[in-house]
């Protein structure tokens, strides 16, 4: 439903977005990850037609965003970065305004406004000027505004930034329920969010797409993918670490904590090693406190992919 | 009600939701009164007309309207709401016109509130109400001209102070271009038709014609096309640098 082709944007000498191409279909939730200044927001601004690209095209539901902007915008909902809103208005009057701009009138308008206020829990502050709302409530107003017309394509720039944990949970739930019949693109700096809501994750760094895959694919790129955490009770037995290191498929075993017997066993090439480890445990009758498989650390993948090589050490 | 109407309504209500409305209207009325009675010798002239009142309007507008117009686009840019506005299904032109009309209408409301002045001359004497009506029309159109200039300057920068200063300077140009002193600067080197063109661009020339009670179509066309021109320029400027 959203298609980007060879999208590029430069601001003078700065290349903000470089040759980005992808498509997002119904039912997909695409998460943009990337360091500050990577070009996530700029890409979103071009998808929504606010910025004109230096090169390339974007189509939304088959409408070219620059040749048929009105049709494309009808089916788009957009939460800009920082959730801007007219500060002197109240959430109620602001949502009425957006609803009217979207072409709703009368009973339909009031129904949609109250429905959307309920979805993001805004009823309590309906009559308070937006300027005086806390950051999280402002974000919710921005979110409400983006979904009031039930768009088929949703672009959300850091939708959960500034929300409390309960609200984060609710908003993620909301995004997941909407995901079925929409194409959603969101950006986030919260890596766990990728797990919670995204069906697909894309890391953007230095204005280019670096990886594009499911969150699981991304985790599989971690050194910790399929690593095993093992914690034993009892007197510190010698040679445990060496024994673990000698198991088939094991790359290395590192002691996590000096005194407690806790080890992280890293596999060679990400192959599953839990079987070998548990057999070893049985053979020696070790007293196990914890035995678990890691899926991989997204933050580690993120760092290794987005930081220039020399900065890694 | 179309989208222009929706934007118009939001903007106009917005003026009254902030102290802008009260401050602007009170200062406008106070200055209009002060100019008329102290500088214009309203009573001492012994004439029952509103000429001293209207004579000061260009100067009043020169300062007050840029103050009102400077926020039109600069504030949208600074607050980021411009991104919101232009990702709604609305054309650039509809947004420019809607916001302008609201601001213009607001000055119209302030102007209407000077009606006690009109009541006073009617009590004191027998003025030519046709002339007064034409003067009000001229004043309102001139306010629109200043507002359209201010709208364009506001689109140029997100800094409201800069927008204000440039609007005053450009507005001053449109007042002074009727003055002989200014025209002399051009008559030395520019062809004659350019000099005439410049003088015909003056707000004063056209406003004075209207405030003498002569409603000439050319003066109306002048103001309306001037407004159209500056709004067109506003749209161009926004298209060019709305993201900055
Ligand atoms: N209007 C502008 N003028 C000049 N440069 C700009 C402009 N907007 C963005 N940039 C530059 O483009 C690059 C990408 O910015 P962008 O806002 O897209 O980053 P981002 O990935 O959203 O970062 P963040 O995580 O901090 O939100 C940055 O280097 C930024 O300085
Ligand atoms: Mg951003």
DSSP string, B23-57: HHHHHHHHHHHHIIIIIS-TTTT---S-HHHHHTH
Task: Work out the pLDDT band at A54, boundaries 50, 70, 90.
Answer: very high
Q: What is the pLDDT of residue B84?
A: 95
**A127: exposed, middle or buried (Cβ count in 10 Å: 0-12, 13-18, 19+):** exposed
CA distance A178 to A151: 10
pLDDT digits (tens, 9 = 90+) for B42-83: 666 667 778 888 888 999 999 999 999 999 999 999 899 999
Query: Separation of B74 CA from ligand 1 center, angstroms?
Result: 20
- Residues B93, B151: contact at Cβ < 8 Å? no
State the DSSP H helix or E strand holding residue B121, giving kind and residue range, or none if neither: helix B115-124
Identify the three-state secondary structure at position B217.
helix
How much is the ipTM here?
Answer: 0.89
pLDDT tens string B8-46: 999 999 999 888 899 999 999 998 888 887 776 666 666
**Which residues of A are less than 8 Å from B84 in CB distance?**
78, 80, 84-85, 145
At A82-116, the pLDDT tens digits run 999 999 999 999 999 999 999 999 999 999 999 99
Residues of chain B with Cβ-Cβ distance to A73 below 8 Å are 87-89
Q: Which residues keep their CB under 5 angstroms from ion ligand 2?
A: A 40-41, 81
Determine whether the shortest distance from the Cβ of A44 to ligand 1 is under 6 A.
no
pLDDT band at residue B7 under the 50/70/90 scheme:
very high
**Residue A203 pLDDT exceeds 50:** yes
**Residue of A51, A82, A102 lying closest to B88 (CB–CB):** A102
- CB of residue B44 inside a 6 A radius of ligand 1: no
Task: Look over chain B and give the mean of its residue pLDDT values, rounded to a whole number.
Answer: 88
Domains by residue range for chain A, with CATH? 2-220 (3.40.50.300), 228-294 (3.30.70.2070)
Task: Please write the tens of the pLDDT for every residue from A135-172.
Answer: 889 999 999 999 999 999 999 999 998 888 988 998 99
pLDDT at A310 over 60: no
Range of the domain at B59: 3-241
What integer pLDDT is reported at residue A260 of this predicted model? Answer: 67
Nearest to A101 among B14, B90, B242 (CB): B90
Shortest CA distance to B130 belongs to which of B141, B145, B118? B118
Confirm or reject: Cβ of A40 under 6 Å from ligand 1. Answer: yes
Domain count, chain B: 1
Q: From chain A, pick out residues whose CB is under 8 angstroms from the CB of B13.
A: 93
Its pTM stands at 0.88
Q: Can you give the pLDDT at residue A67? A: 92
Nearest CA to ligand 1 atom 27: A36
pLDDT at A311 over 70: no
Q: Which 3 state secondary structure label does DSSP give B143?
A: helix
Per-residue pLDDT at A313: 46
């Amino acid at each position: 439903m959203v298609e980007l082709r060879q999208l590029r944007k430069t601001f003078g000498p700065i290349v903000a977005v470089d040759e980005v191409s992808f498509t997002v279909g119904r039912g997909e939730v695409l998460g943009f990850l990337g360091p500050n200044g990577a070009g996530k927001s700029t890409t979103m601004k071009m998808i929504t037609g606010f910025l004109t690209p230096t090169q390339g095209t974007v189509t939304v539901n088959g409408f070219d965003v620059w040749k048929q902007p009105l049709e494309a915008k009808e089916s788009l909902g957009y939460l800009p970065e920082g959730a801007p809103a007219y500060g002197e208005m109240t959430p109620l009057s602001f949502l009425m305004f957006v609803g009217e701009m979207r072409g709703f009138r009368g009973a339909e308008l009031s129904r949609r406004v109250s429905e959307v206020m309920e979805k993001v829990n805004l009823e309590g502050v309906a009559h308070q000027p937006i300027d005086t709302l806390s950051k999280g409530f402002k974000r919710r107003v921005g979110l409400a505004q983006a979904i009031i017309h039930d768009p088929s394509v949703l672009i959300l720039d850091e939708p959960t930034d500034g929300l409390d944990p309960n609200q984060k949970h609710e908003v993620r739930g909301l995004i997941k329920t909407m995901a079925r019949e929409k194409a959603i693109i969101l950006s986030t700096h919260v890596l766990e969010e990728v797990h919670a809501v995204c069906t697909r994750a894309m890391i953007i760094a230095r204005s280019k797409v670096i990886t594009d895959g499911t969150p699981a694919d991304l985790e599989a790129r971690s050194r910790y993918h399929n690593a095993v955490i093992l914690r034993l009770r009892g007197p510190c037995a010698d040679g445990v670490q060496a024994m673990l290191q000698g198991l088939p498929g094991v790359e290395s075993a590192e002691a996590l904590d000096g005194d407690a017997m806790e080890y992280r066993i890293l596999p060679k090439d990400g192959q599953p090693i839990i079987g070998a480890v548990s057999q070893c445990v049985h053979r020696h009758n070790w007293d196990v406190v914890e035995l678990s498989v890691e899926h991989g650390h997204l933050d580690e993948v993120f760092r290794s992919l987005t930081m220039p090589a020399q900065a890694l050490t | 009600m179309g989208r222009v109407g929706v934007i118009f309504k939001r903007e106009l209500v917005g003026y009254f939701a902030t102290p802008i409305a009260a401050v602007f209207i009170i200062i406008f009325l106070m200055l209009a009164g002060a100019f008329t009675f102290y500088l214009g010798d309203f009573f001492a002239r012994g004439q029952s007309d509103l000429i001293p009142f209207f004579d000061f309007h260009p100067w009043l507008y020169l300062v007050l309207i840029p103050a009102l117009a400077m926020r039109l686009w600069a504030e949208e840019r600074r607050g980021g709401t411009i991104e919101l506005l232009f990702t709604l299904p609305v054309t650039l032109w509809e947004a420019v016109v809607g916001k302008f009309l609201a601001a213009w209408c607001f000055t119209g409301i302030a102007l209407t509130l000077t009606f006690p002045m009109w009541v006073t001359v009617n009590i004191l004497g027998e003025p030519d109400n046709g002339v007064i009506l034409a003067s009000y029309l001229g004043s309102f159109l001139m306010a629109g001209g200043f507002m359209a200039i201010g709208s364009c300057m506001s689109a140029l920068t997100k800094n409201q102070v800069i927008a204000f200063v440039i609007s005053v300077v450009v507005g001053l140009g449109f007042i002074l271009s009727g003055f002989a002193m200014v025209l002399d600067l051009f008559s030395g080197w520019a062809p004659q038709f350019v000099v005439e063109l410049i003088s015909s661009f003056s707000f004063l020339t056209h406003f004075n014609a209207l405030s003498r009670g002569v409603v000439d179509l050319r003066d109306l066309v002048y103001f309306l096309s001037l407004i159209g021109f500056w709004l067109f320029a506003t749209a161009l400027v926004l298209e060019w640098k709305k993201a900055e």
